[in-house]
């Protein structure tokens, strides 16, 4: 399973808990286990730390291993999560590539036209 799917899987589990009005801080290993991800404890902490760094989950101030979803995470999940974010990035890159090619072609055509006009001026004289 790729990283985006793991992050979305955990976020979906936390979102489901929010819908059940179960907003408790849970241990990162328990969250990944209940989200049916087969990862070790250190990877589960890395996954939840990434979600926290991105602002989608909060930690309990007394224990850095306990997490729960926050409102940013709820909205992010509803907007498609990391998979949608990755699609958006790819689409933006594709648009920029097309734009750059259009500029390159337009610049080339303008240069060729200028050379053509220069050639016509030389031939007239």
The reported pLDDT for the residue numbered 64 is 83
Domain boundary assignment for the chain? 3-78, 82-125
For the chain, list the strands marked E by DSSP. Answer: 26-27, 57-60, 63-69
Is residue 77 within 8 A of residue 11, CB to CB? The reply is: yes
Q: What is the pLDDT of residues 28-83, one digit of tens each?
A: 888 888 888 888 888 888 999 999 999 999 988 888 888 889 999 999 999 999 99
63's tokens: 């224990």
pTM of the model: 0.75
Please, what CATH class does the domain formed by 3-78 belong to?
A: mainly alpha
């Amino acid at each position: 399973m790729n990283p985006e799917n793991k992050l979305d899987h955990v976020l979906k589990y936390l979102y489901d808990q929010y819908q059940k009005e179960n907003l408790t801080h849970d241990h990162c290993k328990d969250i990944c286990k209940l989200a049916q991800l087969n990862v070790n404890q250190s990877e589960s902490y890395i996954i939840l730390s990434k979600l926290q760094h991105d602002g989608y989950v909060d930690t309990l101030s007394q224990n850095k291993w306990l997490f729960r979803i926050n409102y940013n995470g709820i909205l992010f999940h509803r907007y498609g999560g990391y998979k949608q974010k990755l699609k958006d990035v790819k689409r933006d890159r594709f648009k920029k590539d097309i734009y750059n090619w259009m500029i390159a072609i337009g610049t080339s055509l303008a240069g060729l036209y200028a050379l053509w006009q220069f050639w016509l001026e030389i031939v007239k004289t």
